[in-house]
Amino acid sequence: MITGIGTAFPGVFDQQSLWDEVFDRRYRGDRMARRIFMGCGVRTRHGVVDPRREDISGWSTATRMLRYVEDAHPLGLQAARAALTDAGLNAADVGLFVVVSCTGYSTPGLDIQLARELGMSAQVRRLLIGHMGCYAAIPGMGTAADFVRARRQPALVLCVELTSLHIQPDTPERDLEQVVAHALFGDAAAAIVLQPDAEHGLDVIDTTAVTAPASEELMTWHVTDHGFRMGLSAKVPVVLANHVEEATAALLDPFELKRADIQGWAVHPGGPRIVDVVEERLGLDRAQTAATRQILSSRGNCSSATVLLVVEQLRDGLDIGGTAIAMAFGPGLTLCMALLRRR
């Protein structure tokens, strides 16, 4: 059961000033680039790198990874401590510590560094989930829930994503996929605590995953000499539309639940068109995706951390016994979902 949620964010900047001060010049006043940048549903977002103040587009991947270590540590520490406090749990009692990130790597990793600084036991089990992209919080949550049920010990899941470290070098040609990537993504850390036998919280009833056949090239995250480069095909919403109904039914059918039984929808805000597609295919109205759109507007797409930000928004609004679905999408093309029930 999820008993605590904590979040942390670096500095904030607004979308309009980013375009005016950085990307208008970068894209040479291109009208299509401006329409994409200003029409992605983001109004403010966060980043450890503010491109208005610091141009890292020419940095090597090695330099970016050094910066990741420097900035991910305090952000992850803040979110983890907040989740533990929210749950009323001592870090020394955590049996499994799961760290999720696709935006940076180091060894010894964040899992080792933060476990020590948080005061976890030397016997704590650690799991690092890397490079799975935006949906990775769901398998992290599912693994932790299975551990809690089997071992009767608490678990902590931490997602830390610093997408601002991966702004790409300028190119002579207009690359609309990179316009989308530079417009949409923000930085965040989000953590959840799961405990056995808790009286109140969100039960993780089940998790599922569905991967669309032959869709690997539609969403990519390639390691290059200048950081990680996003590939995001315009076909993603179409493929998602073809699978989201079936994937949702696969999650609900074993529990004899229908979509109408679901009180809360924590949809990953992958972009406005993706949210539109989920609404259309699942018959949701704007009120049911309001939390998703609010996170998209105020935080942007923060990769794996984002769906937990939406869950946090929904948690207190669920009735006792009310159910919610958390869903996220990422490379594969993969749809991951979790069925939650408030107690």
Find the helix or strand (DSSP H, E) in which 2 lies. Answer: strand 2-8
Given a contact cutoff of 8 angstroms between Cβ atoms, the answer to whether 324 and 22 are in contact is no
Catalytic status, residue 159: no
Per-residue b or e along 188-215, where b marks 16 or more CB atoms closer than 10 Å to that residue's CB = bbbbbbbbbebeebbbbbbbbbbebeeb
Are both 2-194 and 202-342 of the same fold?
A: yes
- The pLDDT tens digits along the chain (343 residues) read 999 999 999 999 999 999 999 999 999 989 999 999 999 999 999 999 999 999 999 999 999 999 999 999 999 999 999 999 999 999 999 999 999 999 999 999 999 999 999 999 999 999 999 999 999 999 999 999 999 999 999 999 999 999 999 999 988 777 888 999 999 999 999 999 999 999 999 999 999 999 998 898 989 999 999 999 999 888 999 999 999 999 999 999 999 999 999 999 999 999 999 999 999 999 999 999 999 999 999 999 999 999 999 999 999 999 999 999 999 999 989 999 999 999 9
The CATH class of the 202-342 domain is alpha beta
Given a contact cutoff of 8 angstroms between Cβ atoms, the answer to whether 305 and 318 are in contact is no
pLDDT of residue 58: 96
Measure the CA–CA gap between 227 and 324, rounded to whole angstroms. Answer: 36
Given a contact cutoff of 8 angstroms between Cβ atoms, the answer to whether 70 and 151 are in contact is no
pLDDT of residue 170: 85
Tokens representing 32?
Answer: 């299509």
How many angstroms from the chain centroid is the CA of residue 246? 23
Q: What is the CATH number of domain 2-194?
A: 3.40.47.10
Q: Dihedrals φ, ψ of 203, to 5°?
A: -70, 135
CA distances from 65 to 107, 164, 266, 318 (A): 11, 12, 31, 39
What is the residue extent of each domain of the chain?
Answer: 2-194, 202-342
**Residue 12, CA atoms < 13 Å, CB-side half-sphere:** 11
Helices (H), the chain: 15-18, 24-26, 31-38, 61-87, 110-118, 137-151, 176-184, 236-252, 272-282, 290-299, 306-315
Cβ-based neighbours of 224, under 8 Å, separated by 6 or more: 61
Measure the CA–CA gap between 50 and 72, rounded to whole angstroms. Answer: 15
pTM of model > 0.75: yes
Residue among 134, 159, 302, 336 flagged as catalytic = 134
